[in-house]
Amino acid sequence: MTLDEYQWPAPLGMTPFEHQKITSEFLIGNRRAFCFNEQGTGKTAAVIWATDYLMKIGAIQRVLVICPLSIMRAAWQQDLFKFAIHRTVSVAHHTNASTRKQLINNGAEYVVINFDGVEIVKKEIIAGGFDLVVVDEASAYKNAQTTRWKCLRDIMKHIKGLWMLTGTPAAQSPLDAYGLAKLVNPTTVPPFFGQYRDSVMMKIGMYKWIAKPGSDQIVFNALQPAIRFEKAQCLDLPPVTSTFRDAPLSKQQQAYYDRLKKDHLIVAAGEEVSAVNAAAQVNKLVQIACGAVYTDTGDVVDFDVSPRLAIVKEIIEETKNKVLIFVPYTHTIDVLDKYLAKNGVAAEVISGDVSVSKRTDIVNRFQNQPTTKALIIQPQAASHGLTLTAADTIIWYAPITSVETYLQANARIDRPGQKNAMTVVHIKGSPIERKLYSMLQSGVDNHVKIVDLYKEELATP
């Protein structure tokens, strides 16, 4: 029996939106709790409704939301504007530490901050009058030995409420549950990590440990009180949910991006820009956002894109089933493939360099064997014909300029044989990416609009 097969308090056969109502009621009734609802089930909205109600009755005044940098604005800020428009919100993210402190102290009812920003304003958070901390993608706190974990532990000595959200509790090992349980309900686990490890793992070699039979039950008991809904239980979910993640450009990327725009503006001044040339220049800007731009001589200039790579890893860890990752450029595919391998994610690649026979073998393994978690695909190489329904999540590492290819690529998982609700995640970090995604989702003919898009980008300061 796997952890997902345990009967969490979430009934089947619900009416639309009932899963969010039940989740809200559960959280309202538990000052410290876990929410293990699957990605795409609307747990952010459920948390906002619950906290808004608690504010209405005077039970709480301020909420601190700790989450990945990529969803601070794209998910939490936008959903707070949507579901609690009457509340005040601050996003405490700034390169200047004093500005972060001001954002914490400005009295907003909701303050959203990223994981690594918490330690910078630890004292301000403790003194900030927060009644509740909400941790999204809580697996970031699974290791009780990290500075990040210890910082939150110290903060929680002064704040009574803690809700931890993740769709993948203890996904990699029963050991992942220890750090989470120690924060929410420490009475469910032994006081020392070694004691807990010995209860759920057994040593079979000098450095190798495996889960003991029955360890799932111990994990289930440790991660309480908790609620979980899966996509299949939520009748109101659309077949495909589209979401976004922010990957801000580094200073180096931004400098090259601005320089390239300036150079192109000079070249394009007073001249007619063809669709072919505009598309090439747009691709250059997207390449910078991806982390590697091709020069006119065929060389590659690399940039540090560790935040974007980390976002891909975050999404994969949040996802119960397999994942497709669409990456436009060959060099970027190599970078991502090496990154995932280094971080223990089993992935394979389909690009223009992979032969037809090898592609067939890769697809068969992906569809029928549990070993491969992710498939990295160059969109033009596999946007037609393939059935890849073993995945229910698509990650767009960066946008492309072809609406047809975009739609066909998304259709690889939306085919007969798909049993799950699907999610398409778009990673963006530059203005041109935001505009391209908007164009792709609107189905705008890129041959007509690419020149206008390019000129608009050049004209934007």
Comparing 192 with 257, the larger pLDDT belongs to 192
Residue 219 shares a structural domain with residue 124: yes
In this prediction, residue 167 carries a pLDDT of 87
Residue 167 shares a structural domain with residue 82: yes
151 belongs to a structural domain? yes
Comparing 301 with 160, the larger pLDDT belongs to 160
262 belongs to a structural domain? no
Task: Inform me whether the pLDDT recorded for 371 exceeds 50.
Answer: yes
In this prediction, residue 264 carries a pLDDT of 64
Q: Across-strand partners of 428?
A: 246
pLDDT, one tens digit per residue, over 411-430 is 899 888 888 889 999 999 99
In this prediction, residue 184 carries a pLDDT of 97
Residue 161 shares a structural domain with residue 15: yes
Comparing 109 with 276, the larger pLDDT belongs to 109
In this prediction, residue 398 carries a pLDDT of 96
Residue 226 shares a structural domain with residue 311: no
Residue 336 shares a structural domain with residue 225: no
pTM over 0.85: no
DSSP code string of 240-282: EEEEEEE-PPPHHHHHHHHHHHHHHHHHHTTSPPPHHHHHHHH
Residue 148 shares a structural domain with residue 30: yes
Percentage of the chain surpassing pLDDT 70?
A: 87
92 belongs to a structural domain? yes
42 belongs to a structural domain? yes
Residue 318 shares a structural domain with residue 221: no
Which token pair is 192? 């020392």
Task: Inform me whether the pLDDT recorded for 270 exceeds 60.
Answer: no
Give Cβ neighbours of residue 70 (< 8 Å, ≥ 6 apart).
Answer: 245, 246, 247, 307, 311, 314, 427
pLDDT, one tens digit per residue, over 308-362 is 999 999 999 888 899 999 999 999 999 999 999 999 999 999 998 888 889 889 9
292 belongs to a structural domain? no
293 belongs to a structural domain? no
272 belongs to a structural domain? no
The CATH number of the domain holding residue 40 is 3.40.50.10810
Residue 176 shares a structural domain with residue 322: no
pLDDT, one tens digit per residue, over 223-264 is 999 999 887 777 566 688 899 999 999 888 888 888 887 776
DSSP 76: I
Given a contact cutoff of 8 angstroms between Cβ atoms, the answer to whether 351 and 375 are in contact is: no
Residue 196 shares a structural domain with residue 71: yes
Angle at 256 between CA 381 and CA 299, to 5 degrees: 50
Query: What average pLDDT score do residues 171-187 get?
Result: 93
Comparing 26 with 451, the larger pLDDT belongs to 26
Task: Inform me whether the pLDDT recorded for 5 exceeds 60.
Answer: no
Mean of the per-residue pLDDT values for the chain? 86
264 belongs to a structural domain? no
The CATH number of the domain holding residue 328 is 3.40.50.300
By residue range, what is the domain housing residue 332?
A: 240-247+303-459
Comparing 10 with 20, the larger pLDDT belongs to 20
Final residue before a domain boundary, out of 233, 268, 292: 233
Strands 63-67 and 240-246: unpaired
In this prediction, residue 6 carries a pLDDT of 40
Number of domains in the chain: 2
Task: Inform me whether the pLDDT recorded for 147 exceeds 70.
Answer: yes
pLDDT, one tens digit per residue, over 433-461 is 998 998 888 876 555 566 677 667 666 66
Task: Inform me whether the pLDDT recorded for 25 exceeds 60.
Answer: yes
In this prediction, residue 420 carries a pLDDT of 84
Buried b (16+ CB within 10 A) or exposed e, 347-356: bbbbbeebee
Strands 63-67 and 132-136: parallel
pLDDT, one tens digit per residue, over 201-214 is 998 888 888 999 99
Query: What average pLDDT score do residues 173-177 get?
Result: 93
Residue 83 shares a structural domain with residue 223: yes
Final residue before a domain boundary, out of 194, 209, 233: 233
Residue 76 shares a structural domain with residue 196: yes
Task: Inform me whether the pLDDT recorded for 68 exceeds 70.
Answer: yes
Final residue before a domain boundary, out of 233, 264, 282: 233
Residue 181 shares a structural domain with residue 36: yes
Comparing 383 with 369, the larger pLDDT belongs to 369
d(Cα 243, Cα 241) in Å, to the nearest integer? 7
